[in-house]
Structure 1
Amino acid sequence: MHLSSLPFLLVLISGIFCQYDYDMGYFPDPDYPYVHSMMVPSTAVCAPECNCPETYPSAMYCDDLKLKSIPIVPAGIKYLYLRNNMIEGIEENAFDNVTDLQWLILDHNHLENSKIKGKVLSKLKSLKKLHINYNNLTEAVGPLANTMDDLQLSHNKITKVSANVLEGMVNLTVFYLQNNQLKTDSVSGALKGLKSLLYLDLSFNQFTKLPKGLPPALLMLYFNNNQITNIPDEYFQSLKALQYLHLSHNRLTDGGIPGNVFNISSLVELDLSFNMLKSIPTVNENLENFYLQVNQINKFPLSSFCKVVGPLTYSRVKYLRLDGNNLTQADLPQEMYNCLRVAADISLQ
């Protein structure tokens, strides 16, 4: 792992190496610690049903209150938590007192697009984080402020992401869209303008093909649990910084993977587990974590890992999972460890 990426990984995707933990929940910003609403006394300037801790007076916690509407939000609140309620809509004047709101956390409610009135979210010109996971949205919400850096819309019923909804969001770095009903045509081209996007999760949707126009700065890309059968040649060539690519639980076959499509010099981790591969795709020698479990692989060509083996030319793979395939220890070539000389774990069973 590149050290320069470590702080980003720890904050945004705690447990990234736990491959199948998609309900990661909400991880607060380290500069603004999470304080549970019932742990400390509340300030006087706060909605009566909510809690505004004296130690963090600009945060208002209204979680787990069975609220059906947004309470009155006093001026001065910048961080608003409304998780685990029964809110179906947002009135247009809901945030008139706090147009400088920075965080709005609405996970686990009953929000619908038709009940989010007018331009109520567009008025929040300083908004950085908007979380509407586990609701009833059918489209991505927006347009939103260009200050946005974290947009989470997972576990909804979203079938469409329009380019105009994301227009101008040049500072967005994190976008959660997993566990929706998205198809290839409903996303293609809509994400291209997100020039700062580093993390994109489109897992658990209905993609049969990879969408066109992915943001060029992507560091982490997740397409697990879709129905993808093939990857266009040179599809990832424009993603010069891509380090983590997960395509597990799809329908990939050898014929659907061009020869060098995964030969990406920046890639650190590649997950192709639970597909229908019979051979090991060629990868770059810089790859460190390679997950191929539960395919139909029956041979182990060293050329998939090393073009040439020498003092400085060898694979950097540390973890290689091949369990659930048609391979045994006898199928591994004797010269394997010259190529995979830094491998700490090669799993066959």
Structure 2
Amino acid sequence: NISDYQRLHIWVKVMNHFQWLSHLRGRRWHIGWQAEDVDCPLECDCPSAYPTAMYCHSRNLQHVPFVPSHIKYVYLQSNQITGIQHGVFDNATSLVWVVLFHNQLKSDKIGLNVFSKLKSLDRLFLDHNELTQVPPNLPKSITDLRLGHNKISKILPNTFEGMLNLTTLQLQANAIEDAGGVFKGLKSLTMLDMRKNQLRKFPDNLPERLQQLYLEFNNIESVPANFFNMHPKLQFLRLAQNKLTDKGLPASVFNVSRLVELDLSFNKLEKIPVVSRDLENLYLQANKIKEFSLSSFCSTIDMTNYSKLRMLRLDANEITAKDIPAEAAYCLRHLAYIDL
């Protein structure tokens, strides 16, 4: 027989145990010791306010917990995860977002078909890891794929085959020398980020719908002559920190109506290239430009023929304010900022 005091002492110990477990799970417990979501992994939080979300970020995790079937959004960023085991997502085929940036993922530790059953996956964030290749068999449903800041040096030809919904693709800060024709068939792609790679030329077979192309910090020496004819919807092109020279720019290659922003800074240009009158932002700082050619902006100057340019940077070149002719006030009448 035990005394009432002993019974109370045992009850307190049990109570403390359940309080600790409840704290570990990050969820409240109801009367009768029933968790709000009994199938949520102990390492994560599944708050009742967001019943389809599973929060596992910043927990020092070294593996991906098995995801319950009702979860649509899983947050695993900022951990120490090195691989993704087979079957971890097999019950959660309704997943829409998988967030895994800032981990230590390695390509040889990701199962070949680990993502293949996720037919509704919309966003996959794998940036800031140690991947050497794009994971195979990605779902065709993805619209936003982030693979920046990895160690990818080569993309296999069929990597993105059938991904007709992909609109945003980030591959910046890798070690890619030539993307080949891997982007062919990505009919919905509007934004491609390939900054800080080792490209020597423009990527081939870019989709016609492309609107934003970021190629800064590469080794590109020239722009293809017919590039803008094949990409009439391109509005933002950034080519800063490459190896462009005047010889690498075909005549009037930038004189296209859709381009809104053009960044050619930190190259080796000696002349201002001819640009469209509809261009609004032009960055040419840190080149070797020696003269201000008004004809680069306006072929003729009258009341109807003028540039829409609002921002012009020419600092760190070999020209000064006195090199700008008085007629520039008529041609560049919308200019709000010029830096010499």
Is contact 2:277–2:297 with CA below 8 Å preserved after alignment? Answer: yes
Q: Which residue of 1 aligns with 2:8?
A: none
Matched, 1:95 2:120: no
Cα shift at 1:142: 2.7
- One-letter amino acid matched to 1:97: N
Cα deviation digits, residues 7-61 of structure 1 (max 9, x gap): xxxxxxxxxxxxxxxxxxxxxxxxxxxxxxx9x9575252221112322111111
Structure 2 matches for 1:1-349, cutoff 5 A?
43-44=36-37, 45-184=39-178, 187-348=179-340
Cα shift at 1:164: 1.4
Cα deviation digits, residues 92-123 of structure 1 (max 9, x gap): 11101101111001001111111111311111
Q: Aligned with 1:303: secondary structure?
A: helix
User: Number of matched residues?
Assistant: 308
- Give the Cα–Cα distance (whole angstroms) in 1 for the partners of residues 232 and 164 of structure 2: 18
Is contact 2:157–2:180 with CA below 8 Å preserved after alignment? Answer: no
- One-letter amino acid matched to 1:282: V
- Give the Cα–Cα distance (whole angstroms) in 2 for the partners of residues 66 and 347 of structure 1: 47
Q: Aligned with 2:213: secondary structure?
A: strand
- Give the Cα–Cα distance (whole angstroms) in 1 for the partners of residues 207 and 98 of structure 2: 25
Is contact 2:237–2:261 with CA below 8 Å preserved after alignment? Answer: yes
Cα deviation digits, residues 288-321 of structure 1 (max 9, x gap): 0000111111111111111122222210000001
Cα deviation digits, residues 228-287 of structure 1 (max 9, x gap): 111221122211110000000011111111111111210000000011111101111100
TM-score (norm 2): 0.88
- Give the Cα–Cα distance (whole angstroms) in 2 for the partners of residues 243 and 232 of structure 1: 17
Cα shift at 1:128: 0.6
Is contact 1:271–1:290 with CA below 8 Å preserved after alignment? Answer: yes
Can you give the 5+ residue segments of structure 1 that lack an aligned partner in the other structure? 1-37
- Give the Cα–Cα distance (whole angstroms) in 1 for the partners of residues 329 and 250 of structure 2: 26
Q: Aligned with 1:114: secondary structure?
A: helix
Q: Aligned with 1:151: secondary structure?
A: strand
Range with greater deviation from structure 2 (227-236 or 147-156): 227-236
Q: Aligned with 2:230: secondary structure?
A: coil
- One-letter amino acid matched to 1:310: D
- One-letter amino acid matched to 1:300: F
Cα shift at 1:211: 2.1
Can you give the 5+ residue segments of structure 2 that lack an aligned partner in the other structure? 1-23, 29-35
Q: Aligned with 2:158: secondary structure?
A: helix
Q: Aligned with 1:250: secondary structure?
A: coil
- Give the Cα–Cα distance (whole angstroms) in 2 for the partners of residues 135 and 110 of structure 1: 5
* Structure with max Cα Rg: 2
Cα shift at 1:183: 0.8
Is contact 2:181–2:204 with CA below 8 Å preserved after alignment? Answer: yes
Q: Aligned with 2:189: secondary structure?
A: coil
- One-letter amino acid matched to 2:87: N
Percent identity over the alignment? 47
Q: Aligned with 1:338: secondary structure?
A: helix
Cα shift at 1:77: 0.5
